[in-house]
């Protein structure tokens, strides 16, 4: 038996592969395009492990995906492959449209052809789990209830619009063709192997380098924070027992403002890696011009996942963020290798010198 993971060298995907093989001997076929955020170093501990088969390729390559499905006969596909950074989508939406919509369509076509030829238990047990985001739901006001699975889609960035389109395609392939799919919409993930363009790793890396800690606008944007291994656990639950055609929201029950996050990271670094001059890291905070169309608040209601599948997060924000900061402090070589030319060019473009 095997499962096919797409985007399994990225942040969430690589954590899922490591988590899966830490608990199961079921083989993982890992398809990743290795764009700037895909990093095989995340999977270095699996080198030589016969349970992990890495394939460099694109989910939009119908011929390649069809060959992998025929060769490995996976019982399930978990689709993490996506362009996922809002700021990048504002500067260059084309890649987001191509990967998140067009390539998802080609993946669905390959899966439809493969599943249509299966018989018996192989056909009835097959699943596609499509991993999506809470950003498809748009923005919430301060007093509004959290997003449920029936909340109207109101995406506000090219990124979230492209993910919303991919969600609709997945839904349509279930209702039109019967393809057995489940979709998860998660809140902001954090944890090990997070590419340092996102808020938490960017703050850690910049703080340690003595650089400014850029905070958009007034820093009062609210997000629900989910430790990445809790997300992996939720995906395992949905893959095992989720009902085809259903959507499950995954959240950490941790609503925090961006400024709260930055202050927490600074306080942990003050404790674990103090500045040589003894001054607090929060002195490095620098407010920068807010990005266009910045959603004010996201919040996930994950009660359906708990009620139907018995899932709940294992980490509080306090335990998860401490583990995260400690991981980055303990993995300086990984951080140094990630800080390649493409990353430096991006930071310069986004935040200036």
Q: What is the pLDDT of residue 141?
A: 94
pLDDT of residue 352: 61
Fold of 2-189+226-253+294-313: Rossmann fold (3.40.50)
In this predicted structure, the answer to whether residue 228 has a pLDDT above a threshold of 60 is yes
| Close Cβ partners of 106 (under 8 Å, ≥ 6 residues apart) | 59, 60, 61, 62, 65
**Least confident interval from 115-119, 189-193, 341-345:** 341-345
Task: Tell me, rounded to whole angstroms, the distance of Cα 130 from its chain centroid.
Answer: 11
Specify the higher pLDDT residue, 190 or 352: 190
pLDDT at 340 over 90: no
Question: Exposed, middle or buried by CB within 10 Å (0-12, 13-18, 19+), for 50?
Answer: exposed
Q: Which residues are catalytic?
A: 134-135, 159
Torsion of CA 18, 19, 24, 26, to 10 degrees: -50
Alpha helices in 26-183 (DSSP H): 62-72, 86-91, 94-97, 104-117, 120-124, 158-177
Percent of the chain with pLDDT over 90: 87
């Amino acid at each position: 038996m095997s499962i096919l993971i797409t985007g399994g060298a990225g942040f969430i995907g690589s954590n899922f592969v490591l988590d899966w093989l830490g608990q199961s001997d079921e083989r993982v076929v890992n398809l990743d395009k290795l764009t700037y955020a895909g990093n095989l170093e995340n999977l270095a501990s699996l080198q030589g492990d016969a349970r992990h088969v890495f394939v460099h390729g694109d989910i939009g390559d119908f011929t390649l995906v069809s060959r992998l499905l025929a060769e490995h006969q996976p019982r399930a596909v978990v689709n993490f492959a996506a362009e996922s950074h809002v700021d990048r989508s504002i500067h260059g939406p084309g890649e987001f449209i191509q990967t998140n919509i067009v390539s998802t369509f080609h993946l669905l076509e390959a899966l439809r052809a493969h599943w249509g030829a299966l018989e018996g238990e192989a056909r009835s047990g097959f699943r596609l789990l499509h991993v999506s985001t809470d950003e498809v739901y748009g923005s919430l006001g301060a007093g509004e209830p959290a997003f449920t699975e029936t909340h109207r889609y109101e995406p506000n960035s090219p990124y979230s619009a492209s993910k919303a389109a991919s969600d609709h395609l997945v839904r349509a392939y279930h209702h039109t063709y019967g393809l057995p799919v489940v979709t998860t919409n998660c809140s902001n993930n954090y944890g090990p192997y997070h590419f340092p363009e996102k808020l938490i790793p960017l703050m850690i890396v910049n703080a340690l380098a003595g650089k400014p800690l850029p905070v958009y606008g007034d820093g009062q944007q609210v997000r629900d924070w989910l430790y990445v291994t809790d997300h992996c656990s939720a995906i395992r639950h949905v893959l095992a027992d989720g009902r085809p055609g259903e959507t499950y929201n995954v959240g950490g029950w941790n609503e925090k403002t961006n400024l709260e996050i930055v202050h927490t990271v600074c306080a942990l670094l003050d404790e674990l890696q103090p500045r040589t001059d003894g001054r607090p890291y929060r002195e490095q905070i620098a407010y920068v011009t807010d990005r266009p169309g910045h959603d004010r608040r996201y919040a996930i209601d994950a009660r359906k996942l708990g009620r139907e599948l018995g899932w709940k997060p294992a980490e509080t924000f306090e335990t998860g963020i401490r583990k995260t900061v400690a991981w980055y402090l303990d993995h300086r070589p990984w951080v140094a290798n990630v800080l390649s030319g493409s990353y430096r060019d991006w930071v310069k473009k986004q935040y200036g010198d």
